[in-house]
Amino acid sequence: MIKITDPSKCCGCFACVSSCPVGCIVMTRDQEGFDYPVADADLCVGCGRCDSVCPMDRHDYEAEPFAAYAVRFDEYLAGSSSGGVFPALASSVLDEGGCVYGAVQKSDMKTVHAEASDMAQMEAMRGSKYVQSNLYPVFEDIREKLQMNRKVLFSGTPCQIAGLDNFLGKSYDNLLTVDIACHGVPPPGLWERYVDSLEKEAGKKIVHVDFRDKSRSWRHYRMSIRYDDGTVSYSRRDNNPYLSLFMQKMILRPSCYDCRFKCGRSGSDITLSDLWSVSDLVPELDDDKGVSGVFINTVKGMHAFGSLRPAFVQEVDPDKARSCNSGFSSDAEVPAARDEFFKGAYQTPDILAHMKEYVVKEPLSRRIWRSVRSLLSKIKRRILV
């Protein structure tokens, strides 16, 4: 029977919950707002399945990508966080009668994994979601589809890929897994408190959130929040406490600080990322509209990627492509104030003020350098044009 005594030993992948034959395991929210599995000892039959599928101590997959590419799809560029590769992959799978699984925001702003059987349903999966998603009962659905010989694309964080792999217990030729260069995941509980506070402050309901609105700039993206009266508010990282604390690694899941699945260790077929090193690798694409780094990890991934027809594709050095992207760093230092932050996060009546209190202001020298670098990039792009 699974029992979590050390929060850092659970990534919240839902593999144990999905594998229990009697349904005795439920995900229960802890004091930090993260979900952990809790088993009912009276219902447990002692089969050991939950322990056997946990990827935390039994997942030793590790490989370097054998190819990396700078990629852009013009038709999907505007609505994507980077270069539009995910919708292109999804379209390819859907065209073959398959289905796609990815993270979506529900009407109540909670983030869950869902199934898409057409491109209209897939639209909700596009874009970044900076909050951990609920995966139940997606793993069971995927296994059923695979056994029906339907093609399946599953997109998620590296630990979710590893959890699915352990849950299935075997490889399937008709499954394509795609993970992201993951910075880490914040707790659903904190996100829900944040949303509730914003709605109370504004006096209206939030109907959509874009964590990475790049309509003005890909490099200097904003969070955009649309309300039910049609109004939209924008905030950049430096004046948005949620984005700031996320980027400062203040609100990540304990297992994220020593991730076992990043950098080719999830077992995914393809890894997608922002190609922040674009100015050095493919300066002709450095137009601040977004470009993806695509890392091919398996032969299956190469076949899937090879069937696409992007507007731009160029092979690049994997190490250089990973540079400038913190999502490829396995270890993250735990902020000194993290425990203190969470101790007060769910007791304070004003969560917005509490979050702002723990935001570490970026040094003036760093802000000046970012502005100078941005200006130099604009000048460079104009020269190239």
Q: Tell me the domains of the chain and their CATH numbers.
A: 7-53 (3.30.70.20), 60-371 (no CATH)
Which pLDDT value is given to residue 233?
A: 97
Percent share of the chain, pLDDT over 70: 93
Q: What is the pTM of this model?
A: 0.93
Q: How is residue 314 written in tokens?
A: 């160029």
Q: How far apart are CA 187 and CA 254, in angstroms?
A: 10
pLDDT score of 362: 61
Helices 138-147 and 158-168: crossing angle in degrees, nearest 10, is: 50
What is the model's pLDDT at position 91? 98
pLDDT at 379: 63
Structure tokens, 218: 């890909």
Query: From its phi and psi, is residue 210 left (phi > 0), alpha (psi between -120 and 50) or beta?
Result: beta
The C-alpha atoms of residue 69 and residue 77 are separated, in whole angstroms, by 16
What DSSP letter does each residue of 270-334 carry, written as one string? Answer: EEEEE-TTHHHH-GGG-SSS--EEEEE-SHHHHHHHHT---SEEEEE-HHHHHTT-GGG-SB-PP
Pairing of strands 175-180, 206-213: unpaired
In angstroms, the CA 16 to CA 252 distance is: 21
Q: What is the DSSP string of 262-279?
A: TTT-S--SEEEEE-TTHH
Per-residue confidence (pLDDT) for residue 259, from 0 to 100: 92
Q: Cβ-count burial of 135 within 10 angstroms (0-12 exposed, 13-18 middle, 19+ buried)?
A: buried
Torsion region of 304: left, alpha or beta (phi above 0 gives left; psi -120 to 50 gives alpha): alpha
The helix or strand, by DSSP H or E, that contains position 147, with its residue range, turns out to be helix 138-147
pLDDT of residue 29: 97
**Integer Cα distance of 308 and 272 in angstroms:** 15
Distance of CA 355 to the CA centre of its chain: 22
CA atoms in the 13 A half-sphere facing the CB of 340: 7
What is the number of alpha carbons within 13 Å of residue 83 lying toward its C-beta? 25
- Tens digit of each residue's pLDDT, the chain (385 residues): 999 999 999 999 999 999 999 999 999 999 999 999 999 999 999 999 999 999 998 767 778 899 999 999 999 999 999 999 999 999 999 999 999 999 999 999 999 999 999 999 999 999 999 999 999 999 999 999 999 999 999 999 999 999 999 999 999 999 999 999 999 999 999 999 999 999 999 999 999 999 999 999 999 999 999 999 999 999 998 899 999 999 999 999 999 999 999 988 999 999 999 999 999 999 999 999 999 999 999 999 999 999 999 999 999 999 999 999 989 986 788 999 999 999 999 999 999 999 999 998 765 555 565 556 556 655 655 565 5
Give pLDDT, residue 238.
86
pLDDT in tens, 327-353: 998 678 899 999 999 999 999 999 999
Report helix angle 85-95 to 299-306, nearest 10.
90
